[in-house]
Amino acid sequence: MPDRVQAVDFQAGKLVLLDQTLLPSEKTFLHLDDVADVWEAIKLLRVRGAPAIGGAAAYGLYLGVRGVPDDAGMPAFMAKLREVRDYLASSRPTAVNLFWALDRLVGVAEAATGDDVAALKARLLDEAHAIKAEDEAMCRAIGEHALTLFDGVDAVLTHCNAGSLATMGIGTALAPVYLAAEQGRTIHVFSDETRPLLQGARITTWELDQAGLPVTLITDGMAATVMRRGKVQAVIVGTDRVAANGDVANKIGTYGVAILAHEHGIPFYVAAPSSTIDFATPDGDAIEIEERDPDEVRRLGGRQTAPADIGVFNPAFDVTPARYVTAIVTEKGVVTAPYPENLRKVVLGG
């Protein structure tokens, strides 16, 4: 089994985070027991990826209330819990999974009416562990379902990072690659560097290399040539949100990759935890696309790569229309078109 780096772990009473802002140059783990350090780690993107952020926040909430004396009384404990919850929620207010994880722990505490403070602390740590275990299981299930699509696939192309470092398990888009390796089968990954923030270059190549898995880095503009030369038999990417009709929001550049795959007759798969499928969003047009700081495009690593005041268009995400999506792989199963019906069937079971 590949020697995967854990993005989020809990060891010897401390939250252990890989500091992803130092990649690819340094492999540094932070051992945190102060909630202020957890807040900062989320704020500064030392931990990133929705599932990994949720897990870090859950452990952070536990760390933030661990010091409450066991004899403080439940009202004081609950007040502190809500205070720490609000504090951690302010670290990255746009991260939906952050709120979900924090509120899940608060809900456990609210429901645990018979507990004393000591018992409730233990229960909150258990819940954080449960979130991590569920995430690990979700990743494996996505990997297993994705592998059913990978007969004859010995190389895939991916964009951005939806690997183990975005989750607490073996990733989503990269899960089938890790699972295949466990089974003694090699799936080569071509990784788009993914400008402007280079998550592919900095993170995807690094995590696969650390696990001893073969990876080839390309610039985003090389994907078409990789496909034309037959170097990959599938594309698989992650997603931030899937609309009810199957439109897929993901890192900027994904939509272009989907068109290129379509034109070359290569299947385009989206690995999507069911939590990312948003039935309240009818289609991609309803997804607002954030525009980010122009200096992300004008500069790279502190170096100016374009005139300092030049106009920039810097959308953070794009939307891939469902017609380009060959299948959406959730932990509950593989979904194919027609998505409006089949997403509900597979994800909601109805």
From residue 69, how far is each of 10, 33, 73 by CA, in Å? 22, 16, 8
Site pattern 146..165 for its own copies (x: CB under 8 A): -------------x------
CA-based nearest residue to 284, from 317, 310, 312:
317
**Total residues interacting with its own copies, rule: CB under 8 A:** 57
What's the rounded Cα separation, in Å, for the pair 342 and 244?
A: 10
Say how many CA atoms lie within 13 Å of 173 toward its Cβ: 29
Helix (H) or strand (E) holding 142: helix 117-147
The least CB distance from residue 20 to its own copies, in Å, is 14
Q: Establish if 4 lies at the interface with its own copies (CB under 8 A).
A: no
Which of the ranges 43-51, 122-130, 138-146, 296-304 carries the binding residues for its own copies, by CB under 8 A? 296-304
Under the binding rule (CB under 8 A), the answer on residue 226 touching its own copies is: yes
Q: Which of 116, 126, 182, 209 binds its own copies (CB under 8 A)?
A: 209
Nearest-angstrom CA–CA distance, 166 and 52: 6
Nearest one of 280, 283, 271, 279 to 348, comparing CA atoms: 279
Separation CA 323–CA 314 (nearest Å): 25
* Of positions 222, 286, 334, 337, contacts its own copies by CB under 8 A: 222
| Residue 260 interacting with its own copies (CB under 8 A) | yes
Instruction: Quote the CA–CA distance of 63 and 68 in Å, as a whole number.
Output: 10
Q: Which residue has the tokens 């995430």?
A: 135
Choose between 27 and 345: whose C-beta lies nearer to its own copies. Answer: 27
Task: Report the residue from 206, 268, 269, 339 that binds its own copies according to the rule CB under 8 A.
Answer: 206
Question: Catalytic: 293?
Answer: no
**Interacting residue with its own copies among 74, 106, 130, 306 (CB under 8 A):** 306
Known catalytic residues are 240
Residues within the interface to its own copies (CB under 8 A): 24-25, 159, 190, 192-196, 198, 201-202, 205-206, 209, 214-226, 228, 231, 252-253, 255-257, 259-260, 262-263, 297-298, 300-308, 310-315, 318
